[in-house]
C-alpha cells in the first residue's frame, strides 16, 4: 500500500497546457498568444537595457556576494518599491503606517498576504472575494492558504466592458468586513479597468461595508507607461484612509520574471500597529521561504535607487507599453478593414498585456487546430505575442473563424 495511492491528479492548468501544445507545434505560421510575458517585435524575450546596466554594475562590485538577505528583504528594494506604489509624497509613508516585505514576486506577495490574513483577517469567517473572471491562480492560491473564496461580478461578457453595477451590488450584498482582491491596473485576463469615477464608487461601497482591499499590482508602468497613473486606485484608497494590502510584482515592468522579485505592502491605520504587523509578516515569510531571492532584488533595488537608472527604466516601460498599444491598434484596424463581424473597439479600449477578445471556446479551438494560433480557452490573447510579422495573419485567421 502506498501513502500516495489515493491522491487524484490535480486539474490541468490551462495556461501551462497551452504552452506545452504550442511548444510542440512546429508549423512556421504558429503564433503563441498565450504566454504572459513581453516579446519584442521579433517575438523574442527582452532584457531591459536598464536591467543590463544594473547587472553590469552589480557584477563589477568588488564586495558582491551571495549571502542571505534579511527576512524583510533588501532595503534598497523595499524602500524604493514603497515610493513607487504610494508616491514619494505619500502621507501613509510619512506617518510610518506602511510595512513592506520582500516576497517571491507577485505570487509570493499574494501568498504571504493570504497566510497572514488567514490568521488575522478582519472577521473570523471573512471570505476572500475575487473578480469573475480573474488571474487563473487567485482562487487556488487563496484556497491553498485555507480561505473560502467567493466571486464578485466584474466583466460584462456581452459588451466586454466592466459590469460596474454588478460589481457594486455584489460588494454591497457581501457580509461586512470581507477581503476584496482588486487588480490595481491592467486587469488580468480582461484588460478592463474601472475608470477613475468608477474607482471612487468602488471605494464608497468598500468603505460603507468595511471591506479590506487587497490590491494585486502586477503591471504598474507596464499598463499605460506611466507608473503614477497605474497606481491611481491604490493611492486613492490610501488617501481615503483605508487600511490595505498591495501585492507588487516586478516580473513584467522590469522583465525580471524568473528572478521572482516582488513585495507585499501593508498599510495600517496607526503607526503603533506596525511593529506587531511587521513582525507577524516576517514570521509568515520566515516559515514559508525563510528569505526572498537576492539577485532580482539587487537589480530592482539598483534601478529604483539611482535617479538616472530610474529615468531609463521609465523609458524602457514606455517602449513596452507603446509597442503593445500599437499592436492593439494594428489588430483592430485589420479586423475592421476585413469587415470581420462584430465590434472590435474593445481591443484598443482594454489595457495591459491581455485582451479579452470575446472569441468563443469553439472559435479558440478552430484557431488552434486550423491556424496554429494559441490563446486561452476564454478567448484571452497576450497582445505582447503580436508583432508586425504576424498581426496580418492573426487578423485573417480570426476573421475566418468568426464568419
Closer CB to ligand PLP, 103 or 363, in the complex: 103
Closer CB to ligand PLP, 222 or 344, in the complex: 222
Which helix H or strand E contains 223, and what residues bound it? none
Using DSSP, state whether 266 is helix, strand or coil. strand
Place of cell 533595488: 301
Write down the least CB distance from residue 79 to ligand PLP, Å.
Answer: 20
Helix 105-120 / helix 274-288 crossing angle, nearest 10 deg: 120
Closer CB to ligand PLP, 232 or 344, in the complex: 232
Place of cell 503607526: 271
Rounded to the nearest 10 degrees, how much is the dihedral formed by the CA atoms of 68, 72, 75, 76?
A: 70
Write down the least CB distance from residue 373 to ligand PLP, Å.
Answer: 21
Write down the least CB distance from residue 216 to ligand PLP, Å.
Answer: 5
From residue 347, alpha-carbon distances to 11, 31, 242 in Å are: 31, 18, 33
Enumerate binding residues for ligand PLP (CB under 6 A): 36, 105-107, 135, 183, 188, 216, 218, 249, 251, 257, 262
- 344 catalytic residue (yes or no): no
- 118 catalytic residue (yes or no): no
Write down the least CB distance from residue 107 to ligand PLP, Å.
Answer: 3
Closer CB to ligand PLP, 97 or 380, in the complex: 380
| Stated length of the chain | 403
Q: Of 32, 216, 306, 378, which is the active-site residue? A: 216
Write down the least CB distance from residue 262 to ligand PLP, Å.
Answer: 5
Contacts of 8 (CB under 8 A, 6+ apart): none
Q: Of 46, 252, 298, 344, which is the active-site residue? A: 252
Q: Of 46, 135, 313, 344, which is the active-site residue? A: 135
By CB neighbour count within 10 A (0-12 exposed, 13-18 middle, 19+ buried), where does 64 fall?
exposed
From residue 93, alpha-carbon distances to 89, 98, 216 in Å are: 8, 6, 19
Closer CB to ligand PLP, 99 or 215, in the complex: 215
Alpha helices by DSSP H, listed for 136-293, are: 138-144, 164-173, 196-209, 227-230, 232-239, 274-288
Rounded to the nearest 10 degrees, how much is the dihedral formed by the CA atoms of 332, 249, 33, 322?
A: 30
Alpha helices by DSSP H, listed for 73-175, are: 75-86, 91-94, 105-120, 138-144, 164-173
Closer CB to ligand PLP, 105 or 285, in the complex: 105
Rounded to whole angstroms, how far apart are CA atoms 241 and 50?
Answer: 35
Rounded to whole angstroms, how far apart are CA atoms 128 and 147?
Answer: 7
Rounded to whole angstroms, how far apart are CA atoms 133 and 116?
Answer: 24
Closer CB to ligand PLP, 107 or 355, in the complex: 107
Write down the least CB distance from residue 356 to ligand PLP, Å.
Answer: 13
Write down the least CB distance from residue 36 to ligand PLP, Å.
Answer: 5
| Catalytic residue numbers, as ranges | 135, 216, 252
Amino acid at each position: 500500500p502506498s501513502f500516495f495511492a489515493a491522491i487524484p491528479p490535480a486539474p490541468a492548468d490551462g495556461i501551462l497546457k497551452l504552452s506545452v501544445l504550442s511548444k510542440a507545434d512546429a508549423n512556421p505560421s504558429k503564433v503563441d498568444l498565450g504566454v504572459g510575458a513581453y516579446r519584442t517585435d521579433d517575438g523574442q524575450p527582452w532584457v531591459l537595457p536598464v536591467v543590463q546596466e544594473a547587472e553590469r554594475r552589480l557584477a563589477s562590485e568588488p564586495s558582491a556576494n551571495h549571502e542571505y538577505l534579511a527576512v524583510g528583504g533588501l532595503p534598497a528594494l523595499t524602500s524604493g518599491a514603497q515610493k513607487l506604489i504610494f508616491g514619494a509624497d505619500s502621507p501613509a509613508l510619512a506617518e510610518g503606517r506602511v510595512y513592506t516585505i520582500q516576497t517571491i514576486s507577485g505570487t509570493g506577495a499574494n501568498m504571504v498576504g493570504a497566510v497572514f490574513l488567514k490568521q488575522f483577517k478582519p472577521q473570523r469567517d471573512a471570505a476572500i472575494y475575487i473578480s469573475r473572471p480573474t488571474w487563473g491562480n487567485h482562487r487556488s492560491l487563496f484556497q491553498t492558504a485555507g480561505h473560502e473564496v467567493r466571486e464578485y461580478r466584474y466583466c460584462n461578457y456581452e459588451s466586454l466592458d466592466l459590469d460596474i453595477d454588478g460589481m457594486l451590488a455584489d460588494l454591497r450584498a457581501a457580509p461586512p468586513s470581507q477581503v476584496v482582491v482588486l487588480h490595481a491596473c491592467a486587469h488580468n485576463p480582461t484588460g478592463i479597468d474601472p475608470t477613475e469615477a468608477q474607482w471612487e464608487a468602488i471605494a464608497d461601497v468598500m468603505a460603507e461595508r468595511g471591506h479590506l482591499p487587497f490590491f494585486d499590482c502586477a503591471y504598474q508602468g507596464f499598463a499605460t507607461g506611466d507608473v503614477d497613473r497605474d497606481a491611481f486606485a491604490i493611492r486613492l484608497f490610501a488617501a481615503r484612509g483605508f487600511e490595505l494590502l498591495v501585492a507588487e510584482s516586478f516580473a513584467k515592468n522590469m522583465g525580471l520574471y524568473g528572478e521572482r522579485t516582488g513585495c507585499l505592502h501593508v498599510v495600517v491605520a496607526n503607526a503603533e500597529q506596525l511593529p506587531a504587523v511587521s513582525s507577524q509578516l516576517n514570521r509568515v515569510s520566515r516559515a514559508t521561504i525563510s528569505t526572498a531571492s537576492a539577485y532580482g532584488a539587487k537589480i530592482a533595488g539598483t534601478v529604483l535607487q539611482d535617479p538616472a537608472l530610474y529615468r531609463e527604466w521609465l523609458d524602457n516601460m514606455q517602449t513596452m507599453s507603446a509597442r503593445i498599444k500599437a499592436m492593439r491598434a494594428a489588430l483592430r484596424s485589420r479586423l475592421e478593414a476585413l469587415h470581420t463581424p462584430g465590434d472590435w473597439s474593445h481591443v484598443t479600449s482594454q489595457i495591459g498585456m491581455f485582451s479579452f477578445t470575446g472569441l468563443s471556446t469553439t472559435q479558440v479551438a478552430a484557431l488552434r487546430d486550423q491556424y496554429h494560433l494559441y490563446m486561452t480557452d476564454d478567448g484571452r490573447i497576450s497582445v505582447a505575442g503580436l508583432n508586425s510579422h504576424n498581426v496580418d495573419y492573426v487578423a485573417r485567421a480570426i476573421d475566418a473563424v468568426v464568419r
